[in-house]
Structure 1
């Protein structure tokens, strides 16, 4: 524990503010945490917070930006998606699922997912973020992916938007299952299980729509 504290104090102050804020926000919710409490946990004066962040909302914005950056890096790089699809739908889905799970399988991302699940209900900014970045954008991406598969005659000519909803709704289900219903369960074991369940769901879908 002593070595952990020494490591913490060696980190830049702004990074420590970010980490402490994320810890507190994910435990209590954004509104129930004060700048004074953050400063106390970091071990600095309250006024020192404002040397690094304009206000508490700016800390939340930084957390959201970090989350978006990590999610973007979990996506198949632009220009490589169609090449993967050409190798077969199974390859495309398996690579995509692995990238996604690997990127969110960190303590920081776990806390942010938890924070999102808390704040979506009453924080307008977080609700809009969830709606746009975690629902609308992924659905658009998956609709495009399924349209490519239809055009290449890899799958039956089913409405690609319907397929996008069918595929991505299962991912949203897993989000609520873990980050709302089973948050206290072991994170690593859940992520291993989640990857298997996504693969099983994908296989089930492809069995129904793939052209052999």
Structure 2
């Protein structure tokens, strides 16, 4: 029989409680009861609740990288990635966007962490900083840099890449919250995502005869 990984179970139980009761509404005793151990046993693995929280964020980063590597997303610098997207067209953009959309919507780790950070950002400035970094600043910055590269390689028209990133990512972020908690509507969510991506393509992509060789 495999040895019980108590540390992982503590993290998973804490994440579930944080997403349901909030970080500040969950005690170490609550976590211990959910795991089925004494409260003192948690301190063999974590220095306290804040340590658990930061471990959850670190684990989220690891899982995101693991997910991104499994899709697979184009690799390399922004110009290399832009050329790969330009060569493949909308199909690859849809594949990448759909995989990451479903990851944040329904992954058993990413989804409850997102819910917890969403609510706790209004109670704790440090959580707000983490929420903004993960779901707003990093996402928009990376998307803006990619779109600027895709403009340079001739796939997209000349445009403000920062506004393009905002117009691309905002509806996706909204769709995650629109369909969160409604697994029976997943097909509808993916159809709306597809329509959004097709509309974005129509607005910004150059006609094929005007594109440069990627």
Please give the range of the TM-score, normalised by the shorter of the 2 chains: 0.7 to 0.9
**Corresponding position of 2:189:** 194
CA deviation after TM superposition for structure 1 residue 52, in Å: 0.5
**Deviations 1:46-75 (Å, cap 9, x if unpaired)?**
111100111011111111112222223344
CA deviation after TM superposition for structure 1 residue 15, in Å: 1.6
CA distance in 2, matches of 1:143, 1:63: 28
* Residue 68 (structure 1) aligned to one of 61, 70, 74: 61
* Maintained 8 Å contact 1:101/1:191: no
* Maintained 8 Å contact 1:139/1:168: yes
**Corresponding position of 1:78:** 75
- Asked whether 1:110 is paired with 2:105, we answer no
**Corresponding position of 1:154:** 155
Gaps of 5+ in 1: 1-6
* Maintained 8 Å contact 2:98/2:193: no
| Dislocated runs of 4+, deviation >4 Å | none
CA deviation after TM superposition for structure 1 residue 91, in Å: 2.9
CA deviation after TM superposition for structure 1 residue 89, in Å: 3.5
1:146 counterpart SS class: helix
**Corresponding position of 2:120:** 119
CA distance in 1, matches of 2:67, 2:100: 5
**Deviations 1:165-208 (Å, cap 9, x if unpaired)?**
100111221233244xxx3x33xx34443332222101001112
CA distance in 2, matches of 1:173, 1:10: 41
CA deviation after TM superposition for structure 1 residue 10, in Å: 5.7
- Asked whether 1:211 is paired with 2:206, we answer yes
Gaps of 5+ in 2: 208-214
TM, length-normalised to structure 1:
0.84
CA distance in 1, matches of 2:201, 2:164: 10
| Distance of aligned partners of 1:26 and 1:64 in 2 relative to their CA distance in 1, 3 Å threshold | same
